[in-house]
Structure 1
């Protein structure tokens, strides 16, 4: 199974609307690890590690997000994981 590491930056109404927690729930259901954190500019960063199909499914879901979210933009960037560091074993929020 091929695995991916992708960083996403989500803009719009995505803070204070349960977006990070919903993303965590979706990631866990897909078996994706990483994190969802608020950024100072009002956007959210999501780092996703997992199988290519699972990361792709979560990437697509980011456009939807939580019920009250209003996603304006999702920017995806592939990340080269440093093999000397362990992969995250959970999906966290911060």
Structure 2
């Protein structure tokens, strides 16, 4: 490391942190490996996260194949809140709330469904967020 690198690190670059990672053994002394990490990757600002609520209507052979249970498990794995239920017309309705990339993952899963399902279509609309903190299966 030359003198220019040291002065750059001492002055600090806005938005960057030095993170200590695993220790390295060198002879009889232990040193730590340091790595530059973007500050927003390490400590995301919760107020900067955009929360949306989507309603998905899944049509096809989606009732009686474990769709609601599988959908609930997937939504919980994605840290989404909301609910899923069977509709009288044979479709399944999902309302989920979270970050757009998580909702997109859920929609992609709904387009496939569990192994026994035969999904024909998924329609989507956006709703106002309700700020729920759970996901449930409704009857």
Please point out which of 99, 114, 128 is paired with 1:66. 114
Give RMSD over aligned pairs.
0.9
Q: Give SS of 2:112's match.
A: coil
Does residue 70 of structure 2 align to residue 26 of structure 1?
Answer: no
Matched, 1:16 2:73: no
- The reply on whether 1:2 has 2:46 as its aligned counterpart is no
Number of aligned residue pairs: give it: 90
Match of 1:87 in 2: 131
- How many Å apart are 1:87 and its aligned residue? 2.2
- 1:41-80 correspondence to structure 2 within 5 Å: 41-80=89-128
Q: Which has the larger radius of gyration?
A: 2
Segments of structure 2 that go 5 or more residues without pairing to the other structure are: 1-48
Structure number with greater CO (CA < 8 Å, separation at least 6) is 1
CA shift at 1:89, angstroms? 1.4
Q: State the alpha-carbon separation in 2 of the partners of residues 42 and 24 from structure 1.
A: 18
Secondary structure at 2:122 match in 1: strand
Q: Which of the pair is proportionally richer in helix?
A: 2
Which TM-score applies when normalising by structure 2? 0.62
Q: What is the TM-score when the length of structure 1 is the normalising length?
A: 0.91
Task: Give the C-alpha shift of residue 3 in structure 1.
Answer: 1.0
